[in-house]
Amino acid sequence: MPGTRDVDLVVEGGPRTLPERVAAAYVDRMEHGFRDDPLVAVLRSAVLIGVRFCRYVVGVGPVAQMSPQQLQEHLTRLVRSALFD
């Protein structure tokens, strides 16, 4: 969810282009050093929630088929990327 300072700009427009507006707001904040920004935190959390959903709820696909060791290695890369890239 976008932060309150620019929520009107991000949600303005139709749902078809909402992903592009959210992505643009995210990149803008990352490029300008807002690493502790709520939007950045929400999107980073969404990655881990997505992994959990794919593996334990849906139960199909590459993430669901990984061994625990492979999943740990995969999550390590995701977390490293989310924290430092």
> pLDDT, tens digit, for every residue of 36-50?
777 777 777 888 888
Question: In whole numbers, what is the pLDDT of the chain averaged over residues?
Answer: 78
Q: Reduced to 3 states, what is the DSSP secondary structure of residue 34?
A: coil
pLDDT: is 61 or 84 the higher one? 61
pLDDT: is 34 or 20 the higher one? 20
CA angle 17, 23, 27 (to 5 degrees): 145
The structure's pTM equals 0.51
Q: Which two tokens stand for residue 80?
A: 């490293």
Mean pLDDT of 31-38: 68
